[in-house]
Amino acid sequence: MTRLRAQRIVASALRLIDQQDPAAVAANGVVASSRRPSVTASRVSPAQDTYLTNSGVYFLMEDLVKRLDEDRPEQVSSYISTYFAAIAKGTHIRGRDFEFINGTLQNRLAFLQHIHSSFAGVDTSIEITREDFAELVRHQCRNYPLDLLQQASAHLDEDAEGEVCAPLHSFLDAFRVTLVFHEFLSKVHDIYADAAANRATTPNGPSLSESIVNARAVDRVVARLRLIRQQIIGPVPPVDVLEPLVFKCATYKESEEIANVIDELQAAFACLSSQI
C-alpha cells in the first residue's frame, strides 16, 4: 500500500476527505477521536481545528499532558518520544481503560490487533460461551462494557438454557465490527427494530404485493442509514459497502465486506506508522 492511498483511506474514514487535501491528512498516522478534550490550539483555522479533533490529536495530547502531570518524569523529551513511539507501534493501549481505547479510531484498531494477537496459535473454531469471551476481553481491558459485548453477540442464537455459544472466530469477527463501528451499529439496530415494528403493525393493502412492500421498506432503511451517517460522530462504513448489504440482507457483523474495510484501515495505519 502506498502512503498516498493510506492517507486517502484514513481521510475517508474520518470523513475529512472533502475538507482538505487528502495527501495532507493523517500524515503521521494518528487518528480519530469521538470527542474533543480541553487542550486546544489557540491559532488554528476551522478546517485545522476539525482535523485536530477528528484525527485524535487533541485527545492524545490531553492524555499526554495528564500522564506527564501524574508521572513527573525527569526526562520529559524522552518520555514524550516513548509515548508517541508506542502509538506508532500500537502498544499504547495495553493496560488502558475503555475510555482511552474508545477515544480514537487508531486506539480501537490497536486494541483489536492486541486481542487477535493474544489468540495467535489458538484454534478459533472451538466453541465458547459469551461469558467466556467476555472474560477473555476483560482480561485485556478490565472495564470493557458488557453491553458492547452483548451487542457483538446479539445476532447469535441462544441454546435451550438461554446461553449463547458459538465458535471463537464468530465472536472475534463480530467483536471487531462492534468495537470499530459501535455508535453506528446502535443506530442500525434502532432502524431495523422500527422497520420490523412498522411491518408488524401495518397490514399489506390488497393492491400491494409483498415484493413492493419489501422494496419500500428497504428504501426507507437506506434513507435513514444515509441520514445517520451524517449525524454520527465516529467511524462509519463506506456508503458503497454499506448500502448493498441492506439489499442483500447480510449480517453486518459477520459481513466479509465490512471485515475488509477494517482490514484496510489497519493496513493504512500500519503503513503510515512505518514511515514516521
Q: Residue 203 falls within a domain, yes or no?
A: no
Give the number of residues written for the chain: 276
How many domains does the chain contain in total? 1
CB atoms within 10 A of CB 183: 17
Q: Give the domain extent around 88.
A: 3-109
Q: Residue 69 falls within a domain, yes or no?
A: yes
Q: Residue 97 falls within a domain, yes or no?
A: yes
Helix (H, G, I), strand (E, B), or coil: what is residue 167? strand
pLDDT tens digits, the chain, 276 residues: what are they? 888 888 888 877 776 654 444 444 444 434 444 444 444 445 667 777 777 777 788 999 999 999 999 999 999 999 999 999 999 999 999 999 999 999 998 999 999 999 989 888 889 999 999 999 999 999 999 999 988 888 788 778 777 777 889 899 989 988 888 888 877 777 777 776 666 666 555 555 544 445 454 556 667 777 777 787 777 767 777 777 776 666 555 466 667 777 788 888 888 888 887 766
- Are 95 and 139 in contact by the 8 Å Cβ rule? The answer is no
Q: Residue 126 falls within a domain, yes or no?
A: no
Which DSSP letter does residue 165 get? E
Q: Residue 25 falls within a domain, yes or no?
A: yes
How far is the CA of 241 from the CAs of 33, 45, 123, 185, 275, in angstroms? 23, 33, 30, 14, 29
Q: Residue 91 falls within a domain, yes or no?
A: yes
Q: Residue 164 falls within a domain, yes or no?
A: no
Model confidence, pTM:
0.72
Q: Residue 20 falls within a domain, yes or no?
A: yes
Beta bridge partners of 104: 33
